[in-house]
Amino acid sequence: MKKALSLVMVFLVAVAFSATGYSADKYISGNIGISWLNDYESSESRDGSFIPNTGLFEFGSGLTLAAAFGCDYGDYRAEAEIGYQSGDVDTFAFGTGERDPFAMDMTGDVTILSIMGNGYYDIALGSDVELFLMAGAGFAQVNFDDVAAAEEEQMMGPNLALNVTEVAFAYQIGAGLALPVSDGIMLEAKYRYFATTDFTVSDDFDLPLNGIEDTEWVGNIESHSAMLGMRVML
């Protein structure tokens, strides 16, 4: 799957280089910010059949990074982007209903690596200040790393920790402002909404709590990010 993601990235960069505009200006950009991950609310599946149990992972805020190479066609831009997001896993609730009687504090984190193709529409506001709207699509690799109960007495079994890597289709939309700080350099501030399609988290261990083996949880990841960055013309 990592090889497939690498091929997708090469394809997106090639598209950015060979887009139809003949006089596109090339640029690179980098952004850093804070990402707030929405709760991962999932449905339980056993043997491919959904049952009326839900799992709810609650996340803390974390770091988000993005780097891109793009082509500027005036009012429009196209770019290939590599992104990173992270967040701590705070709590997990299990059972039925919106609020669950069984919940526990958690340790571990979730990280998201993404490869996206983005399109931008720039609107001149005067004094070289731009309002931009963006949308993109691609793939995301979601990693649950060393996710386990924070307190030993809450453990569902001996030394159980969830380590899962899954790949899903991803999409994002956003908006922001850009203003020049020197010749060929723009300062950017933007908001971004990011989401994946549903993917499956498999625990691959027995849960003594309910005698379930190899439980699967199906859900998606969403996030909201506030970012600052720079765009440099090449």
Q: 10-residue block means of pLDDT along the chain (234 residues)?
A: 50 51 84 92 56 70 96 95 93 61 78 96 91 97 83 54 87 97 94 93 54 65 96 95
For residue 36, what are the β-bridge partners? 61, 224
As a whole number of angstroms, the distance between CA 103 and CA 156 comes to: 12
Residue that the structure tokens 């799992």 belong to: 55
Dist CA 88 CA 37 (whole Å):
9
Model pLDDT, residue 212: 47
Per-residue CA distances from 99 to 55, 88, 103, 150, 171 (Å)? 10, 21, 9, 20, 29
pLDDT value, residue 101: 57
Q: What is the pTM of this model?
A: 0.79
> Can you give the pLDDT at residue 54?
65
Instruction: Please tell me the distance from the alpha carbon of residue 82 to that of residue 66, in angstroms, as a whole number.
Output: 6
Number of domains in the chain: 1
**Residue 186: burial class (beta carbons within 10 Å; 0-12, 13-18, 19+):** buried
Burial class (CB in 10 A: 0-12, 13-18, 19+), 49: exposed
**Pure H helices in 49-182:** none
Partners of 10 in beta bridges: none
Which residue segment(s) compose the domain that 34 sits in?
Answer: 2-233
Q: What is the pLDDT of residue 20?
A: 47
Integer angstrom CA distances of residue 71 from 66, 115, 118, 172, 234: 16, 17, 11, 19, 10
- Domain CATH number, residue 208: 2.40.160.20
What's the distance, CA 201 to chain centroid? 16
